[in-house]
Amino acid sequence: MRERLHMEREFQILLREFDNPQDAKKAAAAKAAAAKAAAQAKAARAKELAAAQKLAKELQPFFKQVLSRQIKTGGAKITYGPAIGGKVTLAVVADGDFEKASEAEAKRLAAQLQKKALKFTPDVVQRKLIAFYKAQGESLPSRLSVVDEKTRLTPDEDAAVFSIARMLTIALAKKEAADVDGFYSPSTKTISLRESSITAGVIAHEMTHAYAHPNWSDFIYLMQVRGMKETDKLNEGMTSRLSGLVIDAWFAKQSGGTMPSTGYGPDYIAIADDFIKDIGQEAAFTAFFGGFVDFTDNDKPEDFLLIGRAKKKWKWKWR
């Protein structure tokens, strides 16, 4: 009986607290304040996006101006790649949401690992499959005697070959998110910018990624899988070097201010400069923007690379 009366009293207290007009007013005020803050943040991001879009549009002609080559003496100029100077899609991401956005992009990249590996490194995939079946005391199924782009893997086979690589891709993105001010997504064709770090340098850097030819990305991916060193430094170093040329031209037309950084430091740019010195500006720029990289015709592509329109022979030098 006492226990029942005690429970009834507790219930009545809860009802009184729930019905208290002051508490209801506080809850309503808090809800209204949160809605107002969210609306203000949304309006601020819209303003930042408009400013970023204006800046990107301002940079477009400088890309075309700086990253073009003359066909012949006195002739017209054409860009080093078909995408240079084109319109780009931008998105502004709140600082608190940037890590989540970076992780989502990493998951998109991770989902493409099987497709890329079957295309560029089928021998590596097959070796891992042999090891997978050997660990189970089984022979490789006859359908996997040849592995190529048409091969279809079972969920277990996919997990055995790619699960660790996918986890590492996502983990690395989460780790680096704090140090990144923007990224370009080849899947969504969108440049995402950290709200608090939008500068001409960041935008130019990501626009350069957007203008890079897919073959360049495949080239970097293949060298990574082949165990070559400095792949990220070459990719980001080239992006920083090229976007830096654009920013130099753009900044020369400004009335003052501070030269914006295009991202990565001198050790990255040094790798890019080494690459450009080895094969020449024409070959390096057309490889990056035009996709003129031939790396599919040899069992050891790192030793027999053909770079640029003129197919200049080059061996990956960082081992």
- Decide the pairing of beta strands 68-70 and 77-79: antiparallel
| Structure tokens, 120 | 């560029």
Question: Residue 16 pLDDT more than 90?
Answer: no
Residue 155 structure tokens: 């969920």
| pLDDT for residue 30 | 80
Which range has the worst mean pLDDT, 22-36, 138-152, 275-289? Answer: 22-36
| Residue 7: pLDDT band with limits 50, 70, 90 | low
Name the burial class of residue 294, with classes exposed (0-12), middle (13-18) and buried (19+) by CB atoms within 10 angstroms of its CB: middle
pLDDT at 73: 61
Confidence of residue 23 (pLDDT cuts 50, 70, 90): confident
Torsion 20-26-29-34 (CA) sign: negative
Nearest to 214 by CA among 126, 130, 115: 115
Predicted local distance difference test score (pLDDT) of residue 72:
64
| pLDDT tens digits, 258-307 | 999 998 999 999 999 999 999 999 999 999 999 999 987 778 999 999 99
Per-residue pLDDT, 26: 79
| Lowest-confidence region among 27-31, 40-44, 151-155 | 27-31
Mean pLDDT, the chain, integer = 91
* pLDDT (tens digit per residue) in 52-90: 999 999 999 999 999 998 776 667 789 999 999 999 999
**Nearest partner of 226 among 291, 302, 293, 113, judged by Cα:** 302
What is the per-residue pLDDT for 24?
Answer: 72
For residue 244, pLDDT over 60 is answered with yes
| pTM listed for this prediction | 0.88
- What contacts 148, CB < 8 A, 6 or more positions away? 118, 122
Strand order in the sheet with 190-194: 89-93, 190-194, 182-185
β-pairing verdict for 293-294 and 305-307: antiparallel
Query: Are the CB atoms for 69 and 308 separated by under 8 Å?
Result: no
Counting Cβ atoms within 10 Å, is residue 233 exposed (0-12), middle (13-18) or buried (19+)? buried
Conformational region of residue 230, where left means phi above 0, alpha means psi within -120 to 50, and beta covers everything else: left
Confidence of residue 12 (pLDDT cuts 50, 70, 90): low
Q: Where are the domains of the chain?
A: 82-198, 205-319
Average pLDDT, integer, range 230-249: 98
